[in-house]
Amino acid sequence: MRLHTLLCLSLVSILPACQMMEPHSETAEQIDQEHEIAQEIATTCEQSGELADKAFDCEAADEGIIPVTHPKEEVEVEIAPEPIPMDVAAADVWQRVSQNLAFEFEDNARIASQRNWYLKHPAYMQRVAKRAKPFLYLIVERLEEENMPLELALLPIVESAFDPFAYSHGRAAGMWQFVPATGKRFGMKQTWWYDGRRDVMASTDGAIAYLRYLNEMFDGNWLHALAAYNSGEGRVARAIKKNKKLGKSTEYWALDLPKETRAYVPKLLALADILRDAEKYSFSWPIIENIKVTEMVDVGSQIDLALAADMAGLSVEALHALNPGYNRWATDPDGPFNLLVPVDKVEKFSEAIAATETKERLNWVRHKIKSGDSLLKLAHKYHTTTDIISQVNELKGNVIRAGEYLVIPVALKSMDFYSLSQDQRLADTQSKHKSGTYQVKHQVKSGDTMWDISRKYKVNMRSLAKWNGMAPTDTLRPGKELVVWLKGKDGKKHSDAVIRTLTYTVRGGDSLARIAQKFKVNVSDLVAWNQISTQKYLQPGQKLKIKVDVTRT
């Protein structure tokens, strides 16, 4: 399990032992225990002091928190709901939920603590409501259809603040925060093109299936089921078994669980309590009309999201915000082909789709193969996959010949238009001025780990992961390019720095120290930029990459 790897990498003194041990395979139960990471990191922090603090966010871990990243600014999607019919029981969808709450519980200090936080932060609920507005009605409808408690409509507030792009350092993604294995286990397809964990309706169906499974596993006890959703069914089952053996109560409140899980269920119950007695607490829940404002349309085949956006009368960014499951510039060629659009756009969109043949839903380029071309190189150039190029061109293998032609599907617009695609979100994350004056690129080699790379560049491991939109435990694949933010030679950050990259040809008599002095940079920087060893002599004619702040050189 990645937890073992994470803890091993955190302590230099035990690295040899870690390398000798084979990590456990990712079984469903082990993956469900990802949230134990925070508790384990806290223990490591206590034992290892400054070393661990450089690698992890010890303060957050001590509070039992696995941070959730919201990688994009809010995207405002214009939605024009129709007037609410007179026969609708509740004019507000929150009111609809409050009228059908099912959990019975006694108030206690743990619930009160969470309730006080929400009551003191009304602006937080305003942000949550803005994210929830396009989806909440559909989620509540789906819960009602499946005869599930409507308290579960509040769970995405606890998990992700209703952000479908949320990503935790435990590798959980989406509004309902599924880790990869559990997502697949409950029907969420995950490919290069598409991630069902971020697809709001697909992940809602998966969450319902998982919660129903947990509820049945724990004999109808919803508090046990919710705790298991957070920390894994194995963890909760062992806590119950332990209490039984000791003759203690097995109710949720008496179980020995991780800090995060001990706070998790009270958060949901606190929200339910505030919603039920909003007048008592003088708390104004932001209004979300109790009427469908978005609708799913099946387009039937792969389509460029820019073309679909034009058909629907939306910006690409707005369409992607409603359909965050799509990783790239188009829907998955193998489906799903569903797109969520505002209800007032459905008729126009459906008519445009019906009038557009399948072959016209993508843009195509006829590429003449040149010497040095490969399927991998072309896939990278045209933002697609080798499988798609092979399939479209009916290739038998990976060999392509110079002078021949390939037909390749390409994006209708430049990649900048697909600002919420995975590639563009990563580029945006990597380009932001984080904690250094300039960035260097590190191409992952076989055997590289986050720990190795963070030590090589003398940066915080968690920061390195965050700069690249990853979790510290994510697998590094050879060839992947990571961004590393470094500080200037004086250790200060210069917001006005203008960094330029130049190529220097080594001359006879040159040394790293002499070149560094000439360009006013550090020897360590030269080594990092060029991934060279200080033990080897420079050769005349050798090319070196140098990052120069032109405002200070």
Query: Which residues are catalytically annotated?
Result: 159
* Backbone phi, psi, residue 46, to 5°: -60, -40
Contact between 133 and 79 (Cβ < 8 Å):
yes
Residue found by looking up tokens 């097995």 in the block? 250
**Which residues are bridge partners to 363 per DSSP?**
410
Query: Please, what is the Cα angle at 327 between 326 and 329, to 5 degrees?
Result: 85
180 half-sphere exposure, CB direction, 13 A CA radius: 13
CA quadruple 410, 412, 414, 419: dihedral, nearest 10: -100
Q: CA-to-CA distance for 321 and 326, rounded, in angstroms?
A: 10
Contact between 400 and 373 (Cβ < 8 Å):
yes
Write the CA distances from 72 to 131, 275, 413, 428, 439, integer angstroms: 12, 28, 21, 9, 21
Per-residue three-class SS string for 315-380? CHHHHHHHCCCECCCECCCCCCCEEEEEHHHHHHHHHHHHCCCHHHCCEEEEEECCCCCCHHHHHH
CA quadruple 234, 235, 236, 241: dihedral, nearest 10: 80
Contact between 75 and 321 (Cβ < 8 Å):
yes
**Which residues are bridge partners to 539 per DSSP?**
none
Instruction: Give the H/E segment covering residue 196.
Output: none
Q: CA-to-CA distance for 483 and 316, rounded, in angstroms?
A: 27
Q: CA-to-CA distance for 298 and 277, rounded, in angstroms?
A: 40
Query: Please, what is the Cα angle at 285 between 64 and 153, to 5 degrees?
Result: 60
Contact between 212 and 231 (Cβ < 8 Å):
no
Contact between 290 and 84 (Cβ < 8 Å):
yes
Q: Give the residue from 432, 415, 414, 201 showing the smallest Cα distance to 324.
A: 201
DSSP 85: P
Q: CA-to-CA distance for 25 and 542, rounded, in angstroms?
A: 45
